[in-house]
C-alpha cells in the first residue's frame, strides 16, 4: 500500500507540466493524522499520480469509476482544494443524495478530512491526493459532474503570478466541460481583485450562463475557519455561482 505521504515528491511540478495553482509544501502531520492516513486512506483515498492509480477503480477507458468508488450511482460534486475538510464534511453531511470527491495536495488536510468523515459516519465522501486539474484532465469524463466547488483558492496576488490562478480561461473551460448542462461552478474568495477577475473570466466563457455577479455566501456553504479569520481581519468575502448553459 502506498500512502500519500510516500508519494509527496510527485506533487511538485515536473518538467513540461502545466504551472501548479498551489504551493506544494511539507508539514508535520502529528500522531492522530498519521494514524488517520494509515487506517482510513485505504478505504476512502486514492492518488491522482500515474504510478499510484492502482488504488483507484478505473473504467475500461481509463477514467475514474465513480459508482465503484462510492458504491452507488449518484450526482457527483468535485471539491477542489478542500483544505482541512470542515466545509466538505459539513456539506456532504447535509447533502446525502450527492457524492463528494475532495481533491487536496496537502497531507494535513487530507488526514483531517478522513477523521471528520469517520467521526460523522459519512458514506458519500472520497479523498484524492494531488493536483485537481490533473485529475480533471485525465480521469473525469465530460458531462459527469453535478457541481464543482473552488473555495478560497490561492489568490496569487502578485501580477507576475496571476498565470498560476486556478480561475483562468483555460481552466474554466476544462471544468465546464466536465459539468453536466445545468451543473454549477461555485467559487469563493476574500480577495476583491481576484473576485472581480473571477467574474470577468466566468462571464467570458461561452458555455456558462451569465451575467455573473458577486454575491453573498449562500446559506448552504458553511463558513470555513480560514474564511472566518479573514472576516475577523475585515476581509469581505465574495461568492460566484454560475451554471453550465450548454
Alpha carbons 25 and 165: distance in angstroms, whole number: 17
Handedness of CA 104, 102, 129, 171 (dihedral sign): negative
Alpha carbons 19 and 220: distance in angstroms, whole number: 32
Alpha carbons 137 and 126: distance in angstroms, whole number: 18
- Domain borders along the chain are 30-243
Handedness of CA 114, 137, 154, 239 (dihedral sign): negative
Given 154, 190, 203, 239, the catalytic residue: 154
- Which residues contact residue 84 at a Cβ distance below 8 angstroms, ignoring those fewer than 6 apart? 108, 109, 112, 113, 225
Regarding pTM above 0.85, the answer is yes
Give yes or no for a contact between 4 and 45, defined as CB atoms under 8 angstroms apart: yes
154 is catalytic: yes
Architecture of domain 30-243 in this structure: 3-Layer(aba) Sandwich (3.40)
Per-residue pLDDT of the chain (246 residues; tens, 9 = 90+): 455 555 444 444 443 345 454 445 556 677 888 998 999 999 999 999 865 555 789 999 999 999 999 999 999 999 999 999 999 999 999 999 999 999 999 999 999 999 999 999 999 999 999 999 999 999 999 999 999 999 999 998 898 989 999 999 999 999 999 999 999 999 999 999 999 999 999 999 999 999 999 999 999 999 988 899 889 999 999 999 999 999
For 14, phi then psi, to 5°, come to -110, 165
Cα distances (angstroms) measured from residue 217 to each of 98, 186, 193, 224, 238: 21, 10, 17, 11, 7
Alpha carbons 75 and 34: distance in angstroms, whole number: 31
CA 15 to chain centre: 24
Alpha carbons 73 and 123: distance in angstroms, whole number: 13
Amino acid at each position: 500500500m502506498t500512502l500519500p505521504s510516500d508519494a509527496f515528491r510527485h506533487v511538485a511540478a515536473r518538467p513540461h507540466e502545466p504551472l501548479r495553482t498551489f504551493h506544494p509544501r511539507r508539514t508535520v502531520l502529528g500522531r492522530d493524522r498519521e494514524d488517520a492516513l494509515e487506517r482510513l486512506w485505504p478505504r476512502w483515498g486514492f492518488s491522482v499520480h500515474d504510478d499510484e492509480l492502482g488504488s483507484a477503480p478505473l473504467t475500461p477507458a481509463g477514467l475514474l469509476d465513480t459508482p465503484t468508488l462510492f458504491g452507488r450511482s449518484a450526482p457527483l460534486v468535485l471539491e477542489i482544494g478542500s483544505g482541512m475538510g470542515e466545509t466538505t464534511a459539513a456539506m456532504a453531511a447535509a447533502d446525502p443524495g450527492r457524492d463528494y470527491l475532495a481533491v487536496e495536495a496537502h497531507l494535513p488536510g487530507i488526514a483531517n478530512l478522513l477523521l471528520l468523515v469517520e467521526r460523522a459516519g459519512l458514506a458519500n465522501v472520497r479523498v484524492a491526493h494531488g493536483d485537481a486539474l490533473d485529475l480533471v484532465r485525465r480521469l473525469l469524463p465530460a458531462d459527469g459532474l453535478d457541481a464543482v466547488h473552488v473555495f478560497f483558492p490561492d489568490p496569487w496576488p502578485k501580477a507576475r503570478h496571476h498565470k498560476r490562478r486556478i480561475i483562468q480561461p483555460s481552466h474554466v473551460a476544462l471544468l465546464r466541460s466536465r459539468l453536466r448542462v445545468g451543473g454549477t461552478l461555485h467559487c469563493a474568495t476574500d480577495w476583491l481583485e481576484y473576485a472581480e477577475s473571477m467574474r470577468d473570466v466566468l462571464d467570458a466563457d461561452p458555455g456558462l450562463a451569465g451575467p455573473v455577479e458577486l454575491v453573498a455566501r449562500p446559506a448552504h456553504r458553511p463558513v470555513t475557519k480560514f474564511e472566518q479569520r479573514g472576516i475577523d481581519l475585515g476581509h469581505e468575502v465574495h461568492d460566484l455561482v454560475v451554471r453550465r448553459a450548454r
